[in-house]
Amino acid sequence: MATADMFYYLLFLLWCVTALLVHFFIKTFLKSRNQNNLPPSPPALPVIGHLHLIGAVLAKSFQTLATHYGPLMQIRLGASTCVVASNAVVAKEIFKTQDLNFSSRPEFGSSEYFIYRGSRFVTAQYGDYWRFMKKLCMTRLLSFPQLDKFTDVLDEEKVKLVESVNGCAREGKLCDLNCELTALTNNTICRMTMSTRCSGSDNDADQIERLVKTCLQLAGKLSLGDILGPFRIFDFSGNGKKLVGALQAYDRLVERVLQEHEEKGKKKVSRKGRGRT
């Protein structure tokens, strides 16, 4: 039985590798005959594409390739194809002259595991929904009247920052301003959105900080789906499952905070009603 299982396992593995090679060969060599307007591209290897040309520092690798293939070149990183612009003139053409043609952002990395995919904004495709969300953020979320409501929050967090720096100075300790300013930003945003700080001992501070760090770390890792293409469903690294778990925990936390805000709002309305009577 063990020998038969091993045979079927090797047969399945051979089939997967063969299907993957055929897929990339067809995509790379057959379709390239009808795509004469693409930017220049270095010689690519099957499956991995140009990953063998990428060093530890991505920017330096692109700079080296640009000296040979020009300021606009096509790079294939496994199953993902992208265009690299390394010239100010080309960048201006993309971000200013052809702005609308490049407004939509492709899904890379861990975006396939996001649980709010139907209501996202930063990575949403350019269109009516994106324009509506932008208008909503500018008029309801980031407008001056709305920000003026949180002036006290900003002042309190700035005082806490100064007190923390003064405390380090009095004790003769080193003060990491990068961490202090990051804490200032995070605490301000969390207090504005969820009425709690992201550091300290207030309410769900530890849980919020832990979930945010976990999501950022997992979302910043290289996704095997970008390289393996259709084989991303196997999630060999397990990062996708971990990210989904962290996002679901964050979703439960946010849902509870929203319910608490709704209950507080109802209590305020009921109190006003009793006061009028």
In a domain, 235, yes or no: no
Of 70 and 221, more confident: 70
User: What pLDDT shows up at residue 73?
Assistant: 92
Task: Verify that 92 and 154 share a domain, yes or no.
Answer: no
In a domain, 260, yes or no: no
Task: Verify that 7 and 98 share a domain, yes or no.
Answer: yes
Task: Verify that 6 and 98 share a domain, yes or no.
Answer: yes
Last residue of a domain, one of 107, 132, 161: 107
In a domain, 253, yes or no: no
The confidence band for 1, taking pLDDT boundaries of 50, 70 and 90, is: very low
The answer to whether 185 and 179 are in contact (CB under 8 A) is no
Highest mean pLDDT among 15-29, 201-215, 252-266: 252-266
First to last CA, the chain: 82
Task: Verify that 84 and 181 share a domain, yes or no.
Answer: no
Tokens of 39: 């930017």
Task: Verify that 12 and 88 share a domain, yes or no.
Answer: yes
Task: Verify that 100 and 182 share a domain, yes or no.
Answer: no
Task: Verify that 23 and 100 share a domain, yes or no.
Answer: yes
Last residue of a domain, one of 161, 192, 223: 192
User: What pLDDT shows up at residue 113?
Assistant: 72
Tokens of 17: 């590798």
In a domain, 207, yes or no: no
pLDDT at 33 over 60: no
Alpha-carbon distance of 78 to 225, in angstroms, equals: 9
In a domain, 116, yes or no: no
Last residue of a domain, one of 173, 192, 211: 192
Angle ∠(248,253,254) on CA atoms, nearest 5 = 95
For the ranges 95-109, 140-154, 179-193, 212-226, the lowest mean pLDDT is seen at 212-226
For the ranges 18-22, 28-32, 143-147, the lowest mean pLDDT is seen at 28-32
Alpha-carbon distance of 99 to 224, in angstroms, equals: 30
Phi, psi at 24, each rounded to 5°: -75, -35
In a domain, 164, yes or no: yes
Task: Verify that 73 and 8 share a domain, yes or no.
Answer: yes
User: What pLDDT shows up at residue 28?
Assistant: 56
Burial class (CB in 10 A: 0-12, 13-18, 19+), 179: exposed
In a domain, 254, yes or no: no
Domain count within the chain: 2
Instruction: Please state the length of the chain.
Output: 277
User: What pLDDT shows up at residue 162?
Assistant: 92
The answer to whether 80 and 108 are in contact (CB under 8 A) is yes
Percent pLDDT > 90 in the chain is 4
Q: Concatenate the DSSP letters of all residues of 186-240 into one string.
A: HHHHHHHHHSS-SSSSSTTHHHHHHHHHHHHHHHTSPPHHHHHGGGGGG-TTSHH
Task: Verify that 95 and 155 share a domain, yes or no.
Answer: no
Note down the domain range covering 172: 150-192
Task: Verify that 95 and 154 share a domain, yes or no.
Answer: no
The answer to whether 229 and 23 are in contact (CB under 8 A) is yes
In a domain, 246, yes or no: no
Alpha-carbon distance of 15 to 28, in angstroms, equals: 20
Task: Verify that 29 and 92 share a domain, yes or no.
Answer: yes
pLDDT at 12 over 70: no
The 3-class secondary structure across 11-37, one letter per residue, is: HHHHHHHHHHHHHHHHHHHHHHHHCCC
pLDDT at 23 over 60: no
Nearest to 147 by CA among 214, 193, 81: 193
pLDDT at 201 over 70: no
Q: Residue 81: in which H helix or E strand, if any?
A: strand 80-85
Task: Verify that 100 and 8 share a domain, yes or no.
Answer: yes
Calculate mean pLDDT across residues 172-200: 79
User: What pLDDT shows up at residue 130?
Assistant: 85
Nearest to 258 by CA among 211, 193, 210: 193
pLDDT at 80 over 60: yes
